[in-house]
Chain A
Amino acid sequence: MLVLLDSLPIFSAFSVSLAVCILSAFFFLHPRVPLRFIRLHVGIITFPVLISLLALITTDASTIIGPWRLDSLAWLMVLFVLTIGLVVQRYSVRYLLGDRSYRKYFALLTFTSGSASFTWLSNDLRWLVVWWGLTLLGLLLLVSVNREWKVAGIAAIFSGRLFIISWLALLAATLWFWQATGHWQLSLMMAKDSLAQVSSWERTGINLLLVLAVIIPAAQWPFQRWLLESVVAPTPVSAVMHAGLVNAGGIMLTRFAPLFSGDIAQIFLVIISGISILLGTGIILVQVDYKRQLVGSTIAQMGFMLIQCALGAYLAAIIHLVLHGLFKATLFLQAGSAVRRYERTSRPIQLSSFLWMIVGSACGLFVAIYDWLTAPEIGYQVISALILGYALFFAWTQLVAFGAGLIGRIAGLFLLGGAVMVFIMIHAAFYALLHETVDHVVQPPALVVILIMVILLSGSALGIWFTRHRSSASFAILYLWLVRLSEPQSDSVESHPDYLARSLYWGGNRR
């Protein structure tokens, strides 16, 4: 049995440790501090991670202390953001060694992950807006740390403009909400009686502002550009961006769930996210740069996360955003391994493979139906069943049906089985952690569900059709449009990194 600790001391310990981290990061900025100090700094930033882990395990109910809300969702987010921050800073210790702005990176990374964690601890919307603004600012500064490099500056300015729109939208939504309910505290705002004060058109207005505020960081169509331009950022910065920033929408909508659920803005969000899923997947299909493919993947995944929110499956959205963050951070950090070493050997398709495939389809179908039937709500589960069943069938086909001989099949089965187990366990764990904090699935309108089904299925069908008609003009047009949408603007491309020559010429004497 866990000892339930009081929230206040933990929170104080956490705040102190985070303050120490930020102090240590700024201390390191001083040129007289030896570079060796960075190892100590990495040690220091481990503390808030451990404390938030402790808080997450021991917190059982939501506590509100001043402007802060300490519940398991908040602590989970803090733990997530700071873990990413820790991993990325540890990575940067060697990866950026020798960089002119070495010290600056650590200050900004600490500052950004610190602000982000305070954002998710805020209950007072004014604080939330401020902390979120600081997080965005920190990220922009991170992108443009290399002052010498023109294209990095251009990308930062471009992203900055969009961030300001997003931030202003959030600010406007906050003010409007305050004006309607008279509260600043999120927990009070979301109470039934204060929500009742908000008229339905106001509700839609606030929701639309919220949607605008979240789709920009999530790089949803038509605002995907900034994330595509930010490929110029150093790898660790990209990792932070894709793991910790783009998914803010999921948490915000979860926090605003009572307001958002059942509103017409949901349909709006579904359309935008649906398009983004198709666009993101299209980018993965046509692009050849590894980092650009990852951006496409992020756009699609964030689209999915927002659809989960729109369907009222907030718990699923949180699970998705955390796992996606870890997944994407890892992929970015190991982007150097994307060099092709050997070509793939083609495998003969045997009759037995088809038998195995039939078994796979049956399995997929079974899981899909089971998943659908066992769930109490019909909305999100339909989508989830579709994806789950299909993914299982797909993986089965790849691993087991076409597996390399007996060994391959057995290994494939084990891997699949393991993955399913881990999947179930992780979901159970998240459910246990969050079921009290995160709203249960609210029944979405049937129209929304159907719309999503149509988007996903027609997207898949189109993909298959185009793959089979590669010589058609329509394929060429689609292909070139996808390339066009995923290419950077000409301004943020430089054929040769001329700043290196200048850097060498000035021998580091010039800032």
Chain B
Amino acid sequence: MTVTSTLTEKLNLQKEKLTPDAPHLDLNDLVKAASRVIAPLWPIATFAARNPWMGFEGQTFEQTARWLKDTRDVEIYPCASLIHAAQKRGEVDEDFLEMALQRWLDVQSVDLPLGVAERFCRAALKLDELPSVLLESPELKILAEKLSALMPQNPEKHPLKPLSLCLEEQSGEKVAHALDHHMIKWCKLFLDESQAAWSLPNREEGFYRAWRRLIQYDPALSYTQRQRLKDWPQEAETALKKALSALKIPQSEMRDYLEAHLLALPGWAGMMLWRSQQSTQESSLLTEYLAVRISMEWILIKPHLPLLKQKSEEQLSLVPLIAAWIHWGDMTMEAWEKLSVLEQKARLTLARRFDETVRRRLWLEAWEQTYTDQLMKMISSKKRESDQKKRALAQFAFCIDVRSEPFRRKLEKAGPFETYGMAGFFGLPIMTCELGSKHAHSSLPVILKPQYQVKESSPEFELKSYQQRRQTVNSFGYMFKMMKQNLLASLLLPEVSGPLLCLQMLGRSLVPRSAGQMIRKLRKAWLRKPSTELSLNRENHLETELPIGFSEEEKVHFVRQALKMMGLTNHFAPLVVICGHGSHSTNNPYAAALDCGACGGASGGFNARVLAALCNLPKIREILATEGILIPEDTVFVAAEHITTLDELRFIYVPELSDAAQAAFQQIQTLLPKVSQDANAERLSQLPSLGFRSKDPRVEAQRFAEDWSEVRPEWGLARNAAFIIGHRRLTQECNLEGRVFLHSYDWQKDQDGTLLSNIIAGPVTVAQWINLQYYASTVAPHYYGSGNKATQTVTGGLGVMQGNASDLLSGLPWQSVMRSDQEVYHAPLRLLVVIQAPQEYVERLMDHDPAFHRKVQNGWLRLASIDPEGHWKIWS
């Protein structure tokens, strides 16, 4: 079913391309279609994982890889050095590679003896490079020329490139480069919201119009260039049309042309795309962006038009193919010449098919399979026998985040505790608004839209003075900025603030941990945030778009849903701890990347508190009891925040406890330091160190959190590899090394499969995005990563650029996936989803969720299941 739907999609696309004179050319639709090649990019302050290839899931991973390589020369299969490093660490089993090779060879119908083909392929799989001496040897060139007459023409179509890029390649004049620089400048000036005191003139009229008005004065263009735009259209769409026709782009190629332009600066274009989705006023922002970009391109290349025709039938050179046989096939040139034409042809065909992309793919698959195999063996061998029926002292619900796993493991070891996993927003589609703040944060996965708002409140008199204290802190920062921007006042600023900043600098350098902690404490002591209530009950306010609080049914619904999702519907312990998670780091533009991805790049503490508070409402419990979810009276829900940088659990909401709960709470409090210490010790051993200063890993972890020069305050979700949907008993005895997302699931309680499809649609998608973002940032750090942290500059308060100026960088920084310049840390594996359920469940799931089916089929994630008997089945 999915296959056919993608097929029809493709047919439709072709039809679109084939009808050259469509009467109505809607550019906006064309832009929308072209925007599949980029992904929306949101401001870095709410960094949440983003799958750079979300628009490509209709085609296979390999097709996407080939397309990106052809259009932008970006490789998305891991390169040889990554693979060799993994091999050295024992992460790739060569038997799997051999099996993959055999499978590949089986489907090739090449007229060659199997042994010859095998030998050639095995040698090529060493991934060494063809020696340049060989590639440049004149004899080989003669050989290739002789043969080229015999070989069929290469039928593949050349990818369309922006004309400026073609010109650059032809004449060496840096037009594409200049175009990018112009665009970077216009984008950053337009998108800035806070940094500059003088914002872009006419900015409120939109990107294209502001540009159109200003471009006639821009000294970065020459007088003649500016004159070319004298009577350029006032509207973006007309301008785009005009530019495209001036460049003589046929209608059938327009979409490809726009795609090629979007890929030049995917970050800035992605930010424009995100903005266009935020408000209806700016909905055509991406069209405006392309209008500006292609108009600028026309200005820059006008004198060179028309360009020489691209050599469209550029022939596939035979030199590397013959060289491959001579090098890997272990032949001499004479031996090659002695072969018959047919034999030569067969060999060339094999060499062409077994290209670098295939070779890298086989390695990646072997790597992934090795991991699957290791995981399978570990889980199968460490079955937990006794099915604990004793009532646990406390139950903890954690986020599925991979960083929860080591902490849960240590916690379970420390005492009679049970842990559960579910997405860290706990199923609450809410915007959160902290006390005294006007800013509301969408605390849920970015794929969902918030439906409610929950506010913190406190008594009026306390609020007022808290507000004043808070604003005072803000106004110091604000004044600093205002003085900096004032001609006269700025001259005195260093003399006034210099001594204070100097103290801070010395403190942070000499005693980073204590200085950082002191600053945090001072701030806290000054703010003295009063204790707050949550607006859980529905209030009707007309001024807010979203309803505030929940109605009774909604409360019941969300509590029921959360308890079912985490699989906690009976055997309640006296104390249930709902744990959100957040991180602590200093001077880190990527701080949000370390926070909870399911909460839109912020701490999940707020959501945890909302859920715990809802679960404690007697009214809700009564209703749930009628549905069979009996929460004992002495069970109390509390909320805590797991600080992942410190591996600490901080309680943020503790209502009045029953006696049993109180006992449990006290025991947890006494055990926590040890848990924290063990978890930190395990985690810190992975972080690069210069020898620790302190014996206590907790102290060292605090140093990581407070040091302003720390580029790796923690590893975040690096090395994530799998997502296990199943009972905790399945994995309880395994050390999963913080690489696995764990979602609780009991198929027996999910007869109709709703829970499973919800897990797949929500948490698995979020995890897949996280996984692909890490993957992309590792395999193509320059294009999908965020570059080197040491040379970044924050721009417009909304993102980072590299060096003097660059694309708005979108992924994870180099330091977040690399242990050092020479050593990679993250293992780029596509997410392995493991479902503990009978096969029928998985089949039903695939039937009901075509999008998921497509992802599995096209290799955007991998799927395995474990049936009740413990047998594994690999679905991808």
Q: Interface readout for B79-92 with A: 1 if CB under 8 Å, 0 if not? A: 11110110000000
Chain A proximity of B67: nearest CB distance (Å): 18
CA gap between A310 and B471 in the complex, in Å? 41
CA gap between A126 and B306 in the complex, in Å? 61
Taking CB atoms and an 8 Å cut-off, the chain A residues in 397-431 that contact chain B are 398-399, 402-408, 411-412, 415, 419, 422-423, 426
B-chain residues with CB within 8 Å of residue A335 when the two chains form the complex: 587, 793-794
Given contacts A394-B486, A403-B472, A498-B782, contact A476 B499 (CB under 8 A): no
A192 at the interface (CB under 8 A from B): no
B142 at the interface (CB under 8 A from A): no
CB distance A339 to B472 under 8 Å?
Answer: no
CB-nearest residue of chain B to A404: B471
Interface of A is mostly: helix
Taking CB atoms and an 8 Å cut-off, the chain B residues in 494-509 that contact chain A are 494-502, 504-506, 509
B-chain residues with CB within 8 Å of residue A93 when the two chains form the complex: 690, 709
CB-nearest residue of chain A to B482: A398
Which of A338, A344, A480, A494 touches B218 (beta carbons < 8 Å)? Answer: A480
Chain A proximity of B52: nearest CB distance (Å): 13
B-chain residues with CB within 8 Å of residue A123 when the two chains form the complex: none
A-chain residues with CB within 8 Å of residue B233 when the two chains form the complex: none
CB distance B483 to A404 under 8 Å?
Answer: no
CA gap between A290 and B801 in the complex, in Å? 10
CB-nearest residue of chain B to A470: B201
Chain A proximity of B711: nearest CB distance (Å): 6
CB distance A507 to B790 under 8 Å?
Answer: no
Chain A proximity of B203: nearest CB distance (Å): 10
CB distance A496 to B782 under 8 Å?
Answer: yes
Chain A proximity of B648: nearest CB distance (Å): 21
Which of A94, A292, A412, A471 touches B707 (beta carbons < 8 Å)? Answer: A94
B4 at the interface (CB under 8 A from A): no
Given contacts A330-B501, A407-B465, contact A97 B711 (CB under 8 A): yes
Chain B proximity of A329: nearest CB distance (Å): 7
Taking CB atoms and an 8 Å cut-off, the chain B residues in 774-802 that contact chain A are 780-783, 785, 787-798, 801-802
B219 at the interface (CB under 8 A from A): yes
A374 at the interface (CB under 8 A from B): no
Taking CB atoms and an 8 Å cut-off, the chain B residues in 792-828 that contact chain A are 792-798, 801-807, 814-815, 818-824
Taking CB atoms and an 8 Å cut-off, the chain A residues in 139-155 that contact chain B are 146, 149, 151-152, 155
Given contacts A90-B509, A426-B495, contact A345 B471 (CB under 8 A): yes
CB distance B793 to A285 under 8 Å?
Answer: no
CA gap between A387 and B778 in the complex, in Å? 52
CB-nearest residue of chain B to A487: B185
B-chain residues with CB within 8 Å of residue A493 when the two chains form the complex: 177, 180-181, 184, 803-806
CB distance A479 to B491 under 8 Å?
Answer: no
CA gap between A376 and B502 in the complex, in Å? 31
CB distance A500 to B781 under 8 Å?
Answer: yes
A-chain residues with CB within 8 Å of residue B490 when the two chains form the complex: 281, 284, 297, 300-301
B-chain residues with CB within 8 Å of residue A329 when the two chains form the complex: 505
CA gap between A39 and B822 in the complex, in Å? 22
A-chain residues with CB within 8 Å of residue B801 when the two chains form the complex: 289
Chain B proximity of A272: nearest CB distance (Å): 16
Taking CB atoms and an 8 Å cut-off, the chain B residues in 465-494 that contact chain A are 465, 467-472, 474-476, 478-479, 482-494
CB distance A285 to B198 under 8 Å?
Answer: yes
A193 at the interface (CB under 8 A from B): no
CB-nearest residue of chain B to A343: B439
CB distance A495 to B180 under 8 Å?
Answer: yes
Interface size of B by Cβ–Cβ distance < 8 Å? Answer: 126
Given contacts A422-B500, A490-B177, A503-B821, contact A291 B793 (CB under 8 A): yes
Given contacts A483-B189, A505-B79, contact A340 B797 (CB under 8 A): yes
CA gap between A405 and B467 in the complex, in Å? 9
B650 at the interface (CB under 8 A from A): no
CA gap between A330 and B72 in the complex, in Å? 40
Q: Interface readout for B17-31 with A: 1 if CB under 8 Å, 0 if not? A: 000000000000000
Which of A388, A426, A466, A494 touches B499 (beta carbons < 8 Å)? Answer: A426
Taking CB atoms and an 8 Å cut-off, the chain A residues in 266-298 that contact chain B are 277-278, 281, 284-293, 297
CA gap between A390 and B493 in the complex, in Å? 12
CB distance A288 to B189 under 8 Å?
Answer: yes
Given contacts A98-B818, A327-B493, A403-B475, contact A277 B498 (CB under 8 A): no
CB distance B491 to A285 under 8 Å?
Answer: no
CB distance A405 to B509 under 8 Å?
Answer: no
B209 at the interface (CB under 8 A from A): no
CB distance B196 to A285 under 8 Å?
Answer: yes
CB distance B708 to A501 under 8 Å?
Answer: no
Chain B proximity of A241: nearest CB distance (Å): 14
Chain B proximity of A489: nearest CB distance (Å): 8
A-chain residues with CB within 8 Å of residue B489 when the two chains form the complex: 387, 390-391, 394-395
Stretch from A161-169, A205-213, A318-326, A433-441 contacting the other chain: A318-326
CB distance B587 to A323 under 8 Å?
Answer: no
Interface centre among A324, A394, A500 (most CB of B within 10 A): A500
Which of A422, A484, A495 touches B265 (beta carbons < 8 Å)? Answer: A495
CB distance B588 to A336 under 8 Å?
Answer: yes
CB-nearest residue of chain B to A46: B510
CA gap between A410 and B802 in the complex, in Å? 42
Given contacts A340-B797, A406-B468, contact A495 B806 (CB under 8 A): yes
B-chain residues with CB within 8 Å of residue A340 when the two chains form the complex: 43, 45, 193-195, 797-798
B-chain residues with CB within 8 Å of residue A499 when the two chains form the complex: 782
Taking CB atoms and an 8 Å cut-off, the chain A residues in 78-133 that contact chain B are 86-87, 90-100
A-chain residues with CB within 8 Å of residue B494 when the two chains form the complex: 301, 320, 323-324, 326-328
Given contacts A93-B690, A423-B496, A487-B185, contact A330 B505 (CB under 8 A): yes
CB-nearest residue of chain B to A83: B506
CA gap between A240 and B711 in the complex, in Å? 19
Q: Interface readout for B190-209 with A: 1 if CB under 8 Å, 0 if not? A: 00111111101110000000
Which of A229, A320, A490 touches B174 (beta carbons < 8 Å)? Answer: A490
CA gap between A335 and B177 in the complex, in Å? 27
B-chain residues with CB within 8 Å of residue A334 when the two chains form the complex: 587, 708
A386 at the interface (CB under 8 A from B): yes
CB distance A98 to B820 under 8 Å?
Answer: yes
CB distance B468 to A405 under 8 Å?
Answer: yes
CB distance B709 to A92 under 8 Å?
Answer: yes
Which of A285, A289, A300, A324 touches B197 (beta carbons < 8 Å)? Answer: A285
A-chain residues with CB within 8 Å of residue B476 when the two chains form the complex: 399, 415
Given contacts A340-B798, A507-B85, contact A231 B505 (CB under 8 A): no
Given contacts A344-B474, A476-B201, contact A326 B501 (CB under 8 A): yes
B94 at the interface (CB under 8 A from A): no
CA gap between A319 and B498 in the complex, in Å? 10
CB distance A487 to B220 under 8 Å?
Answer: yes
Given contacts A284-B485, A343-B439, contact A336 B794 (CB under 8 A): yes
A-chain residues with CB within 8 Å of residue B184 when the two chains form the complex: 493, 495
A-chain residues with CB within 8 Å of residue B815 when the two chains form the complex: 98
CB distance B795 to A290 under 8 Å?
Answer: yes
Chain A proximity of B231: nearest CB distance (Å): 18
New A-B pairs, 12, CB < 8 Å, besides A405-B465, A495-B264: A91-B709, A98-B711, A98-B819, A100-B821, A155-B804, A324-B498, A342-B437, A347-B471, A390-B489, A408-B472, A499-B782, A507-B85
- Could you pull out 15 A-B pairs where Cβ atoms are within 8 angstroms? A95-B711, A95-B789, A232-B803, A289-B195, A333-B505, A333-B709, A338-B589, A404-B471, A405-B464, A408-B468, A412-B472, A480-B217, A493-B806, A495-B177, A500-B814
- Closest 10 A/B residue pairs (Cβ): A507-B81, A508-B822, A340-B797, A404-B471, A323-B498, A98-B820, A488-B804, A405-B468, A288-B192, A234-B790
**Chain B residues in the interface with A (C-beta under 8 A):** 43-45, 75, 79-82, 84-85, 174, 177-178, 180-181, 184-185, 188-189, 192-198, 200-202, 213-214, 217-220, 264-265, 437-439, 464-465, 467-472, 474-476, 478-479, 482-502, 504-506, 509-510, 586-589, 591, 688, 690-691, 707-712, 780-783, 785, 787-798, 801-807, 814-815, 818-824
